[in-house]
Amino acid sequence: MFEHNSRHNNNDETVLPIPSNNETSYFDESWTEDDLKQIIRKMNLKVTPQRILILQTLHEGRVHITAQELYEKVQKINSDVGFATVYRFLKGMAESRVVTELRMGSMPTRYELTPKKHHDHMTCTACGKIVEFQNKNIEDHQEKVAKQYGFKLTHHVLELYGICTSCQMKK
């Protein structure tokens, strides 16, 4: 299995949902400093230079980043940011659903800015490649199940695991 295989590669190559495009990030729009401040205020948090920098770096960087990776990136820009701050802020943003936590297997938690279009993940357990996909049918059925048991859904985690095309051919 993925989580027990120390030989898998470490990149988290991401295949964008069909239709794919050439964007580096989902967020083609750029965020001004005011945008960033707005987002922080909406979380009922005070605006600090650290938080602005962290959020900005998260937005500009690639998706699926770990707290450690984000910390290192931010460090290079301004060493007046501690790991605890990055970590705490990520947690806070996760609570406010500004970012989404991805826990795949037993690897360190990765974060992504919550995309406007919800998607789920399919991971190749051989090479670690992550494919993102959307499927309204699945969502609909989830709601049905929730209703059946009287639950009011807040969110969900759907992760498919398997072997991707190229790994199937290799082996």
Can you give the three-state secondary structure of 72-137, one letter per residue?
A: HHHHHHCCCCCHHHHHHHHHHHHHCCCEEEECCCCCCCEEEECCCCCCEEEEECCCCCEEEECCHH
Rounded Cα–Cα distance for residues 90 and 138 (Å)? 28
Give yes or no for residue 67 binding a second copy (CB under 8 A).
no
Q: Which does 6 bind (CB under 5 to 8 A by kind): a second copy, DNA, none?
A: DNA
How far lies 124's CA from each of 6, 12, 100, in Å?
Answer: 14, 10, 20
Q: Which of 9, 77, 95, 108 binds a second copy (CB under 8 A)?
A: 95
Q: Which entry of a second copy, DNA, none binds 147, CB below 5 to 8 A by partner kind?
A: none
Q: Is 51 in the site for DNA (CB under 7 A)?
A: yes
Residue 122 interface partner, choices a second copy, DNA, none, CB cut-off 5-8 Å depending on type: a second copy
Distance between CA atoms of residues 126 and 42, nearest Å:
40
Query: CB 86: neighbour CB atoms within 10 A?
Result: 25
Binding partner at 80 among a second copy, DNA, none, C-beta below 5 to 8 Å by kind: DNA
Residue nearer to a second copy on the CB measure, 36 or 164: 164
Q: Which of 124, 127, 128, 130 binds a second copy (CB under 8 A)?
A: 124
CA torsion 157-162-165-171 (nearest 10°) is 160
Give the binding range for DNA (CB under 7 A) out of 57-65, 101-109, 114-122, 148-156.
Answer: 101-109
User: Whose structure tokens read 């989404």?
Assistant: 100
Q: Is 158 in the site for a second copy (CB under 8 A)?
A: yes
> Is there binding between residue 80 and DNA (CB under 7 A)?
yes
Structure tokens at 73: 């990136």
83 binds DNA (CB under 7 A): yes
Question: Considering only 12-20, 40-48, 136-144, 150-158, which stretch makes contact with DNA by CB under 7 A?
Answer: 40-48
